[in-house]
Structure 1
């Protein structure tokens, strides 16, 4: 049996591969069309104009659906583990589920409302995605530590904690430096390397990519856990 057919581990694998392709494909298309600079564009810059915006929106919606499925599967796994061992607070597990769902909602908002058209809504969606996503992986690291040795290994917990710390550290310069970047014509996504705020743009853009890929790659740590269980839907008719 192939390893990716065991249990539900295909869910995090698909999520990581598809989401990574979403970022990369939109960047390559925007680059080939010369809509953005080669170095240090914001993720949103690479999906601001058609056709890359259309492709990014469609692929991001699929990523959000895969993210919801993966996050819910993780929630049910921890819930079952809690029933048998009582090592994780059910309330903490529910809070983490809500944060994960909010991060997926933020992804959909970012993909639907382009930064050059509805900037305020786009920025609110990005903030929702980043804040909820970082909190989600931090709390999942706490859950992993609490469930050791029943739910995960110490090496997996360390990997999750490392990714969560990287995302948390990169989140603050992403937001702070973005506020220090001077707002220009939203239709021109090319940056003036000689401007005084260009270093802030570089710091913000680089950290944004780090946070996004940290959040996505965090789900790779779910593979071993997801090999051990499956989910089934049971239908009951109430007369």
Structure 2
């Protein structure tokens, strides 16, 4: 059996590959069509105009579905682990799942309401996605330490904590600097007064986004250890 066929590790593997492809493909198409600047556009800028907006919306929706499946599998794994060891409280596990589901739903909002068409809704969805997503990373890092040594190794726990802290630190300039960005066009001039704020916000946005991707990479070894089964009962 190939390593990616062990347990449920195909879920985080697919999520990481597909999400990374979503960002990269939309960016490459937007650059090819000269819809955005080469140097650090906002992620949403790369999916603002058709045809990349159609691809970005579809691929983001699939990423959200894969994220829901992966987060729910992680929730059930921690729940099963805690049935015998009592290392993780049920409320902490549920809180992480709730924030994870909110972040996935917010991804759909971001992909559906393009920033050039519905700026307010798009920005609200993006803010909700980043905040709830970072909270999910933090709670999962706490869960990892609580579950040790029954769950992940200490090194994996440290990697998750580092990624969560990196995402949290990058979140603040992403949001704060975006407040000072007044121009909403897809092409920016370096001479614009708000360009440094745009650049800082965009760079940190990409850091937060790929922090999520790297965090789910750490799930692969854990997901090799378990499977989920659906039990069907028929009542007359």
Q: Taking structure 1 as the reference length, what is the TM-score of the superposition?
A: 0.97
Q: CA deviation at 1:216?
A: 1.7
**Cross-structure match for 1:42:** 42
**Aligned mates of 2:198, 2:11 — CA distance in 1:** 34
Corresponding residue to 2:225 among 188, 203, 228: 228
Q: CA deviation at 1:238?
A: 2.9
Flag as ranges the 4+ runs of structure 1 deviating above 2 A: none
Map 1:147-162 onto structure 2 (within 5 A): 147-162=147-162
Map 1:173-212 onto structure 2 (within 5 A): 173-184=173-184, 188-212=185-209
**Cross-structure match for 2:123:** 123
Q: Deviations over 1:43-81 (max 9, x none)?
A: 000000000000000000110000000000000000000
The reply on whether 1:103 has 2:100 as its aligned counterpart is no
**Aligned mates of 2:49, 2:235 — CA distance in 1:** 50
**Cross-structure match for 1:28:** 28
**Aligned mates of 2:111, 2:192 — CA distance in 1:** 29
**Aligned mates of 2:233, 2:183 — CA distance in 1:** 55
| CA RMSD after TM alignment | 0.7
Q: Deviations over 1:110-163 (max 9, x none)?
A: 000000000111011101110010000000000000011001100100110011
Q: CA deviation at 1:183?
A: 3.1
Corresponding residue to 2:213 among 206, 212, 216: 216
Gaps of 5+ in 1: none
The reply on whether 1:18 has 2:13 as its aligned counterpart is no
**Aligned mates of 1:218, 1:90 — CA distance in 2:** 22
Q: CA deviation at 1:182?
A: 1.2
**Aligned mates of 1:168, 1:206 — CA distance in 2:** 14
- Give the secondary structure class of the aligned counterpart of 1:232: coil
**Aligned mates of 1:44, 1:77 — CA distance in 2:** 33
Q: CA deviation at 1:195?
A: 1.1
Corresponding pairs, count:
236
**Aligned mates of 1:216, 1:5 — CA distance in 2:** 20
Q: CA deviation at 1:40?
A: 1.3
Q: Deviations over 1:87-112 (max 9, x none)?
A: 00100000100000000001000000
Gaps of 5+ in 2: none
**Cross-structure match for 2:62:** 62
Structure 1 window deviating more from structure 2 (214-223 vs 68-77): it is 214-223
